[in-house]
Amino acid sequence: MNVDNNSFSHHSYLLSELAGSVGNFGTVLPLLFAVSFSCGMNVSLMLLWAAVWYIITGLYYRIPIPVEPLKAVGAIAIAESVSTHLIAASGILMGVICLCIGFFGWMDRVRRIIPEPVIRGVQLGLALIFVKSAIPGFILPDLSFAAVSAGIVCVFLLIKRVLKIPDLSAIFIIGSGFFIAFLSTGFPSITFFSVPTLQLPSSSDFFDASVRLIPPQLPLTLTNAILATSLLVHDLFKKDENPDKLCKSIGLMSLSSSLFGGFPMCHGAGGLAAHYRFGARGGLSLILGGLVLLLTGVICTDTNFSSALPVGMFGVLLVVVAIELAKHGLKTENLLVSGLIAVISLPFGLALGFGAGLVLAWALRYRNKLI
């Protein structure tokens, strides 16, 4: 019997792209749902905008450049239950700043200003804040499903080690949570998304965002989401992706999403690695991922259904995200700087931690020049 090798190769490619399309959902979904539960943001609109930018990014870059929420903004929003207008203000500011940096070609200057240990410290601080938010806010109120979710994570860690297959724990946890909600409320009433309306935060929201949310988010975006992503694209695809180009697309994502009810979005080296690890090699994976997010958003227009989702799963997934962030943070070249940021961030916030760490890093750099 003759086998059409081209057909087999085509089907293999489609399956690989489909598997890779959900590779970063373990970061995207828990953050968006946790923000919805903590801050009251419309989860359907957040998923709609995430889906739109997944598809656009897949068509534009033609490789699996990730689309994910701004982690520092998400961590602070979840921990402090900030207002939706404050989140929108942070996204608009981030959008304008990134567009300006990208269009003026300033990414090389950014690379010289922010020392690497400062970024690692922000990652460690984020990890601690995610754990601090996850335990009392999501795990303790739903210990039973949190235990089930933790069990799924452990099982897949063992399977991954023995069989050398990708970690699908996040997908199984989220799928189990949706199944529980189905059992509780029945099949959700399917309606289309509400029409996004323009939202303009107040001047006080912009000022508050510039003090509390932008200082820890901006360096993380410029380095991890742009410079590190550009470097990893070269490593994985042997392709040069201009950091200023990535900066401009982040600006467009954050600005458009935040103006119309979505959560501000960015790229990220960790997300790129996750998509690639699960099999994504082209832009089709992001297009398929966008369609999955779109379907999820349609299901979640039923507020009774989305309210029935077990919060324990979000707590465990946030801890998993925190562990991944901490692994990168511990790669620091200067544990004193990174550790100071993490320690200060937990009780006093990322903005103060970032400021203290940046001053210390600059002081140490100046001292080393004098020696």
Q: What is the pLDDT of residue 249?
A: 97
Angle of CA points 168, 172, 174, to nearest 5°: 120
Per-residue b/e over 359-371, b at no fewer than 16 CB within 10 Å?
Answer: ebbeeeeeeeeee
How far apart CA 280 and CA 65 sit, in angstroms, is: 10
pTM: 0.82
- Confidence category of residue 6, pLDDT binned at 50, 70, 90: low
275: amino acid identity, one letter: H
Which of 141-145, 157-161, 288-292, 309-313 bottoms out in mean pLDDT, i.e. has the lowest? 157-161
Better-predicted residue by pLDDT, 269 or 361:
361
How far apart CA 249 and CA 230 sit, in angstroms, is: 13
Would you say 74 and 331 are in contact if contact means Cβ atoms under 8 Å apart? no
Domain ranges in the chain? 12-187+197-370
Q: How many CB atoms lie within 10 A of CB 255?
A: 20
Burial class (CB in 10 A: 0-12, 13-18, 19+), 296: buried
Q: What is the pLDDT of residue 8?
A: 47
Q: What is the pLDDT of residue 366?
A: 84
Task: State the virtual CA torsion across 134, 140, 141, 143 in degrees, nearest 10.
Answer: 110
Which residues are paired to 69 by β-bridges?
Answer: 265
pLDDT tens, position by position, 46-97: 999 999 999 999 999 999 999 999 988 998 999 888 999 999 999 999 999 9
Q: What is the pLDDT of residue 169?
A: 76
Q: What is the pLDDT of residue 266?
A: 94
Q: What is the pLDDT of residue 3?
A: 46
